[in-house]
Every structure is written in C-alpha cells, then in structure tokens.
Structure 1
C-alpha cells in the first residue's frame, strides 16, 4: 500500500466504495487521515463499515462543514452530463475534489528516494484504444528484461494498492479519461497517448472535452518524455504542443500509416515491420508478423508505443524484440481462444466501440462476426470499409435488430444470445474462417462488464465438440 500524505489528522470524504474507493480509504487511513465514507448503495456502505470505516451521509446538509477534500471514484460524473449531487455539494462548499490517481501522484515520492541510486519512475498510458494491451506489453518487456515493475490503474490493481517502489523500480499505469480528467496531480516520467476516437462523449461533453481529459496527462505535470500516436489530428496537435523543435527527442512519434519525416525520434510499423528512426536514419527494425499475441495493425501500434517506452528507458532493440515475441496478449483483446477443424475462435470482447471493432475486423480474414450488445451513439457508422472480410454477422443483445438494419447487404442472423451465436457461427464456419467476437457495443444489456461477456464467449466455444486450445 502507498499511504496518502498531506492529510494527517484531516477528515477526507470518500464517495464510491468500489475497488478504487475502498483502496483510497485504506491508504488515507494509513497516512493518518480520517476517511468519511459514502456510497449510494447500501451494500457498498456495509463493506466499508465492516472494515471499520466511519460512514457519513454525504447527501445531508452540512456534510462537508469539516471536510478537507472529497475523493471520488472515477465512474461518478462530476461535470457532464451533470454532477453527482454529492460532488455538486462539495464544489458548492468550496471543498476540493480529487481521485485516487491524484492521491497516488502526490504521495508516491518519499524521503527514501533520496537514498536511492536510481529513483523509481512512472509510465502512464492513455488513449481511446489499445491502452490496456500497451500497458501490459510495457510491463511484460520490462519484466523480461529483469526490471522490477508493477502494473496498475485501469488494469490490474488499484494505484494505491501498489507496494512503494524500490531503487530502480518502475510503475506502469493504464489511465482512462475518467481517471485523468479529475486528478489534481499528474506527474508521470513517461506519458503515452495511443490514439483518439469517439467514446464516452456524454461524460465529457463532446469530443473536445474527451480530448481535453486525455491531454491533462501531458499538460499538468510535463512528463520528461512523451510517446504520441500521430495518426489522428489530435495526436499530431499534442506532439506539436510538446516539442520545442523538429528534432526534440523528448517526443517520440508513433505511426502505423506512414513513415514519419524529419530529424526527430519516431517508431513506425508498416506492413508488419516496426522501424525506429532517429536523426533521419533507421536504427532498428523488427518483423512483427510472426508474433501471435500481436495480430493486426492496431496491435502493431501498441507494439510501437511499448517499444518506444522501452527504448526511452534504455533497453536495447534486440532484447525488446525477444520480449515482444513471448507476449501472449490479454484476455478479451484479439485473444485466440481455440481452434476446431481449421477454424479459429477469437475473443475481442473489449471492442466496445466502432473503432475498436474496425481494428479487430481488419486483423483477420474470412470472418464469422459476432456483434451486438448495447449500441452506442452512431451505431455502426464508420465500419463499412472493414466489412469486406466478413462472411456473415451473428447479432446479439439489445441492438441486434438495429445492427441488422445497418448491415443491409451483408448476410446476418439475429441470434439474441451468445450461446446461439457461437453455435450457429461454428456450425457454418469453413476451414480458414475466424469466428470473431468484436461486439462494437457495450455489454451492459446482458452482462455486468465486457470481461463477463468475453468469458461467456470462451465458455460457449470450449463447450463445442472437437475444440482444441491454441498452439
């Protein structure tokens, strides 16, 4: 645990008692604060009370009269579409609002660091798509190189549940826009921006607010080095804002669409080959095509970003290449689940929006596509260019019929539930086909989260006769 500093003897309100909220309450107590906990759910309050935390109804008048700060969980809106009433009350009372990410950055460095030969460093990864895989890949590369590294944030453990890093230790954080938009301290040593596509727009008041939430990771503390995906205009803008000159190697530009000109530091991947360029010349290259854990251009972008971070931390190209080759991918992200009679079954339940689904569809051929769930604004708009490799779509969930209308001209079958979709796709698949779960929709109509949806897909696949685990 990382005890929270700066609130010794103070009362700190904690709103939301899920993973991050309880973790924050424990870390605040360890640092000498008095947490006052509240959750709209009775069961959340019961869990905190069982751990000995004081429960205070933060919705009552005067609840913030003696409170120094309110710490809120990332899923609770504080601005758009409208503030949660408790957060609105805190702001009206002049009480600062923070989250566990802000507490982490203000509490990580201690006097112990002065006695270390190499102070610990923090790598923080944000973006619309690929941030989980990129974060896990950075962690994997560093682990394989013998570095002491911990992974947390939007993946793995809560940030305050980490152990205080030792001499030379590295912390890798995956940070969502919900986490970066409110944190009062954001000071990573290396910050990564993968890409930007429309998502969570109601929460951020539109695309501009969404980008602004991501941009805070780079503007609030000023990382020593920034790895920026520049295949969208927002990434190019961000790289331009951070660089002082064309050859400023504090910015490492990443692209999977083109070779990047100029004297700067860049990492690109075209036709499956990663290339590192510095001062106008190529210094390293890696063939990514044989790496089973990184299929498709979207994973090649993740590989480029992770490679750039590893190089910024001083790792040699050949060592990074070996680590990339041993990466097996993450569950629910282009995860090869099984094979049967020449048919592959791939779980990409994390493809909860159109852009992520488009990347998954472009990574495979001869696709039997399982899609649907709780559709987002815009439906399947923007997917037309990726449908050429789809043999048939098997549609599930709340938006199945809406998706069927949008996919006019493509063979579709409304299956409603996962078991039916898997059974029908498996029955019709031919050798060389890929049965791909890439929903292009949220999971909340039928599942509590995308992980449970992916686990259901895996269970349905493994229940088929004759399936074999991947080689």
Structure 2
C-alpha cells in the first residue's frame, strides 16, 4: 500500500466505492485521515462498513462540512454530460476534487528514497487504443530484463494498492481519460500517448475535450521523456508542443506504417519490421512478424511504444527483442484461444469501438467475424477498409439486425446470441481462416463487461472444439 500523505487528522470524503474508491479509503486511513464514504450501491456501502469506514450520504445538507477533499471514482461524471450532485456541491463549497491517481502521485515519493542508489520511476500510458497492451508489454519487458516492475492503474492493481517501491523499481500505469482529466497531481517520469480516436465523447463534451483530458498527462505532468504516437493529427500536435526543436530527443515519435525521419528520436514499424533511429542513424531493428502475441499493425504500434519507453530506461534492443518473443498477450486483446483444423480463434472482446475493431480485422486475411452489441456514436462506416477481409459476419446483440444492415457488401447473419454466432462460425470456417470476436460495440446490452463477453466466447469455442485449451 502507498499511504496517502497530507491529510493527517483531516476529513476526506470518498464518492464511489469500487476498486479505486475502497483502495483510496484504505490508503487515506493509513496516512492518518478521517475517511467518510458513500456509494449509491447498498452492497458497496456494506463492504465499506465491514472495514469500519464511516458511511455517510454525501449529497445531504451539511454532509461535506469540514471536509478537506473529495475523492471521486473514475466512472462518476464531474462536468459532462451532467455533473454528479455531490461534486457540484463540493465545487460550490470550494472543496478540492481529486481521484486516486492524484493521491498516488502526491504520495509516491518518500524521504526513504534518499537511501536508494537508483530512484524508482513511473511510466504512465494513455491513449484511445492499445494502452492496456502497451502497459502490459512494458511491464513484461522489464520483468524479463530482471528489473523490478509493478503494473497498476486501469490494469492490474489499484495505484494505491501497490507495494512501496524498491531501489530502481518501476511502476507502469495505464491511465484512462477518466483518470487523467481529474487528477490534481500527474508527474510521471516517462509518459506514453498511443493514439487518439473518438471515444467517451459524451463524458468529455466532444473530441476536443477528450484530447484535452489525455493531454493533461503531458502538459500538467512535465515528464522527463514523452513517447508520442504521431499517426493522428492530435499526436503530431502534442509532439510539437512538447519538443523544443527537431533534434529534441526528450520526445520519441512513434508510428505504425510511416517511416519517420529527422535528427530526433523515432521508432516506427513498416511491413512488420520495427526500426529505431536516433540523430539520423539506425540504432535498432526487430522483425515483428513472427511474434505471436502481437499480431497486426495496431500491435506493432504498441510494440514500438513499449520499445521506446524501455529504451528510455536504458534497456538494450536485443534485451527488448527477446522479451517481445515471450510476450503471451493479454486476455480479450487479440488473444489466440484455440487452433483447430487450420482455423485460428481470436478473442478481441476489448475491441469495443469501430477503430479498434478495424485494426483487429486488418491483422488477418480472411475472417469469420463475430460482431455487434451496444453500438457507439458515429456508425460503422469507418470499418469499410477492412470489410473485404470478412468472409462472413455473425452479428450478436439486441440490435443485431440494425447493426447487420450497416455492413455494406458483407454477408451477415443475424445470430443475436454468442452461442448461435460461435456455432455458425465454427460450422462455416475453412482452413486458413480466422474466427474473430471483435465486436466494434460495447457489451452492456448482453454482458456486464467486455471481459464477461470474451470469456463466454472462449468457453463456447473450447466446448465446441472439445478442447481444454
């Protein structure tokens, strides 16, 4: 645990008692704060009471009297589309609003670090797509290289649940826009921006607000080094803002598909090969094509970002390359779950938006595509470049018929349920094809989350194949 500093003998209120909320409550109490908790979910309140936290409806008159700070869980809106009542009251009273990420950064470094030969470092990863894989990949590379590493934030453990760092230890954080937009302290040593595509637009008041939430990690944090994906205009803009000139190697530009040139520091992938250039000279090269855990151009972008972050820590290209080959992949993200009869079965349930589904489809030549769910804003037209790879679509979800009619030029079967879709896809699949779950939609019409959806797909495939894989 990382005890929170600066609130000893003060009242701190926690709004939202999910994983991050309870973790923050424990860390605040460990730092000497008096903690008040609230969640609209009765079961969450019972869990807090079981740990002897004071539970108080923070929306009632006078509930925030004497409170020094309000700590908010990521899913609770503070501005758009409509701010939570308790947050509005807090702001009217002048009470600072923060989250567990802000508490972490204000509390992570301690006086005990003076005894360390090598200070601990924090790598923070954000972006629309690929941040989980990039974070997990950095963590994996560090462990394979014999470095002490902890993975936390939006993946792995809660940030305040991690162990106090050791000499030379590295903490790798995946941070969502919900986390970066509100944190009052953001001070990573290395910050990574993977890419930007439209997502969570209602929460951020549009694409500009969404980018602004991501940008805070760099503008507020002032990292020693920034790894920036420049395949979109927003990444190019961010890299330009952070750089003092073409040769400023505090910014490492990353691309998948475009050769980057100039006197600075670049890492890019083209035709399956990663290349590193620094001061106009090639410093490293890796063949990514046979790395099973990183299929497709989108994963090659993730590999470039992770490579750049690890090179910033001084790891040699050969060490990173060896670790890439042993990377097993993350569940629900281009995860190979079975191979039978010449057919490969891929679980990419995390492809919850059109852009991530497009990238998943582009990674394979001939696809039996299981898709559908709770459709997001913008429609499906952006999938057009990959639809020629689809042998047939098997559409699930309550609105499966409406989803299917948008797939112009693709044979689509309205299956509605995952069980039906898996059965039909397995029956139709031919050797050399891929059965791919990449829904291009949220899961909430049929599942609690994308993990549950991916687990259902995996269970049904393995059961149908008679496999315990």
TM category, shorter: over 0.9
**Counterpart residue number, 1:293:** 293
Asked if residue 55 in structure 1 is aligned to residue 40 in structure 2, the reply is no
**Counterpart residue number, 2:109:** 109
**Counterpart residue number, 2:138:** 138
Q: Please report the RMSD computed on the Cα atoms of aligned residues, expressed in angstroms.
A: 0.8
Superposed, which structure 2 residues align to 1:69-468 within 5 Å? Answer: 69-467=69-467
Shift of 1:407: 1.1
**Which runs of 5 or more residues in structure 2 are unaligned?**
none
Which whole-Å deviations, capped at 9, do the CAs of 1:113-143 have from their partners, x for residues lacking one?
1111111000000000000000000000000
Q: Which runs of 4+ in 1 moved over 4 A?
A: none
In structure 2, how many angstroms separate the alpha carbons of the residues matched to 1:379 and 1:418?
22
Contact 1:230 1:236 in 2 (8 A): yes
In structure 2, how many angstroms separate the alpha carbons of the residues matched to 1:12 and 1:399?
44
Which whole-Å deviations, capped at 9, do the CAs of 1:44-72 have from their partners, x for residues lacking one?
11100010000111010111111000000
TM-score (norm 1): 0.99
Is the alpha carbon distance of 1:41 and 1:431 closer, same or farther for their aligned partners in structure 2, counting shifts above 3 Å? same
Shift of 1:91: 0.7
Q: Tell me the SS of whatever aligns to 2:238.
A: helix
Question: Would you say how many aligned residue pairs link Structure 1 and Structure 2?
Answer: 469
Shift of 1:339: 1.3
Q: Tell me the SS of whatever aligns to 1:383.
A: helix
In structure 2, how many angstroms separate the alpha carbons of the residues matched to 1:219 and 1:465?
51
Shift of 1:379: 2.1
**Counterpart residue number, 2:43:** 43
Contact 2:257 2:271 in 1 (8 A): no
Contact 1:340 1:467 in 2 (8 A): no
Contact 1:340 1:466 in 2 (8 A): no
In structure 2, how many angstroms separate the alpha carbons of the residues matched to 1:57 and 1:379?
40
In structure 1, how many angstroms separate the alpha carbons of the residues matched to 2:404 and 2:172?
41
Q: Tell me the SS of whatever aligns to 1:142.
A: helix
In structure 2, how many angstroms separate the alpha carbons of the residues matched to 1:132 and 1:233?
22
Shift of 1:176: 0.2
In structure 2, how many angstroms separate the alpha carbons of the residues matched to 1:393 and 1:191?
38
Q: Structure 1 residues 223-232 or 86-95, which shifts more?
A: 86-95
Contact 1:273 1:289 in 2 (8 A): yes
TM-score (norm 2): 0.99
Superposed, which structure 2 residues align to 1:23-34 within 5 Å? Answer: 23-34=23-34
Q: Structure 1 residues 346-355 or 395-404, which shifts more?
A: 395-404
Contact 1:373 1:445 in 2 (8 A): yes
Contact 1:339 1:468 in 2 (8 A): no
Q: Tell me the SS of whatever aligns to 2:94.
A: coil
